[in-house]
Structure 1
Amino acid sequence: MNPRRQKRLAIVALVVSVVAGAVGLMLYALNQNIDLFYTPSEIIDGKQGTVPQVGQRLRIGGMVVPGSVKRNQETLAVSFDLVDTGPAVTVSYQGILPDLFREGQGIVATGVLTAANRIQAEEVLAKHDEEYMPPELAEKMKGIKHVKPDNLATGGH
C-alpha cells in the first residue's frame, strides 16, 4: 500500500472513531435524562421482567386512591396513593398541586423512586378531560371501576 493510501485510511479511521465517540457521549447524556413510564403495578411487579431501581427517575400514571391524600398543614407537602389494577404506590410531593387534582382522578407524576413502593415527585400533572388517559394506563385500567370526582363532590350520591 502506498503512503498516500495509508494517510487517507488513517484520516478516515480517525474521523470514524471521533464520530463514534461523539455519538456514544450523546447517547450516554440522553440516557441520564430518560424518564420511563410505569404504572403502580409495574413498579411493584416489574415491567418486562425488570423492576425499577431505587434512585431511578421515572414517570408514573394511575388513579389517586380516594381517602389517601394527606396534606401537611404547615408546608406544601402532600402524599397520596396511586393505583391501577394491582398494588398501590405512595407518591410524596412538595408544592402546589394542579387545580384539577382530585381523589379518584388520573394523574401522571415525574420523580425518583425512593423505596420499592414510594416516589418523591418533582412534578404532578392532572388530566383535564375525564375521557383521556395515556394509552398504556388505559390498557391496564380496563375493567377497573373507580370513584368519579363528581361523586366525591356530592358525597357519593
Structure 2
Amino acid sequence: MAGLKNLKKTRRIQIILLAFVALVISTGLIGYALKDGINYYRSPTEVVAEPPSEDEVFRMGGLVADGTLVRGQSETVTFSVTDGAAVVPVSYTGVLPDLFGENQGMIGTGSYVNGTFQATEILAKHDEDYMPKEVIDSLKATGVYVEPTS
C-alpha cells in the first residue's frame, strides 16, 4: 500500500515537472518567433546618438525637413527627417502616401545603413490634425511641438 502511494506521488511530480518544462519551451519558442516582428521606435536624436546596427529593423519618425524632399527619375525618393534636435537622411523606393510632404509628420520602418535610414515602409498622417503619438512625444522632448489650437 505504501509503495502505491509513493508511486502516485512520484507520478504527480513527474507530470508537474513535464508541464513546467513544456511551458518554458513553448514560451521560448513564441518569444523567438516574435523577435523579428518587433520594431522599436527611435527618434532622429536617438539614431544619431547611438546608431543601430545595419541589420536591425526599427521605426523612426519626425517631421520631413523643409527643402529636403527630392523625387528621382525612378520611384526612389530622398528626404530628411528631424525632431528639431537632429536630422537623419532617408531613402525610400516605392510609392509615398498621398498626404506625405515637407513639414509633415511621418513614421518609417527600415534600417540605418551608412548614415542613411533605408526605409521599406512610410506612413504619413491621414488628416490635418493627426500626428503619430511617437512623433509628438519626440518633438515635445526637443521643444519643437506646439499644440494645435482649435
Which band: TM-score by shorter chain?
0.7 to 0.9
Query: What do residues 6-35 of structure 1 show as CA deviations (whole Å, max 9, x unaligned)?
Result: 122112211110111001110121122101
Aligned to 1:66: 66
Equivalenced residues, count? 140
For residue 95 of structure 1, report the CA deviation from its aligned partner: 0.7
Structure 2 counterparts to residues 19-34 of structure 1, below 5 A: 19-34=23-38
**Aligned-residue CA RMSD in angstroms?**
2.0
Q: How many percent identity over aligned positions?
A: 38
Deviations for 1:29-73, whole angstroms, at most 9, x for unmatched residues? Answer: 112210111111111124xxxx53222111111111122122221
Question: Which stretch has the larger CA shift, 61-70 or 130-139?
Answer: 130-139
Cα distance between partner residues in 1 of 2:145 and 2:10: 71
SS in 2 for 1:5: helix
Distance (whole Å) between structure 2 residues aligned to residue 131 and residue 140 of structure 1: 17
Cross-structure match for 1:78: 77
Separation of aligned partners in 1, 2:124 and 2:109? 12
Alignment partner, residue 13 of structure 1: 17
Deviation at 1:139? 3.0
Q: Could you state the TM-score of these two structures normalised by the residue count of structure 2?
A: 0.83
Matched residue, 2:105:
106
Structure 1 segments (4+ residues) deviating >6 Å? none
Q: Give 1:130 deviation, angstroms.
A: 3.0
Q: 1:35 aligns with which of 30, 34, 39?
A: 39
Q: Answer with 1 or 2: which has the greater Rg.
A: 2
Q: Does 1:2 align with 2:13?
A: no
Q: 1:136 matched to which residue of 2?
A: 134
In 2, the alpha carbon distance for the partners of 1:107 and 1:136 equals 10
- Give me the whole-angstrom Cα distance separating, in 2, the residues matched to 1:63 and 1:12: 54
Render the CA deviation track for 1:91-147: whole Å, top value 9, x for unaligned: 1111111111111111111112223x321111111102232222332233244279x
**TM-score, L = length of structure 1:** 0.80
Question: Mind listing any 5+ residue stretches in structure 1 that lack a counterpart?
Answer: 147-157
Q: Give 2:87's aligned residue.
A: 88
Aligned residue for 2:117, secondary structure, equals: strand
Separation (CA, whole Å) in 2 of partners of 1:131 and 1:40: 22
Distance 1:113 1:21 in 2: 33
Q: Is the 8 A contact 2:105 2:135 kept in 1?
A: no
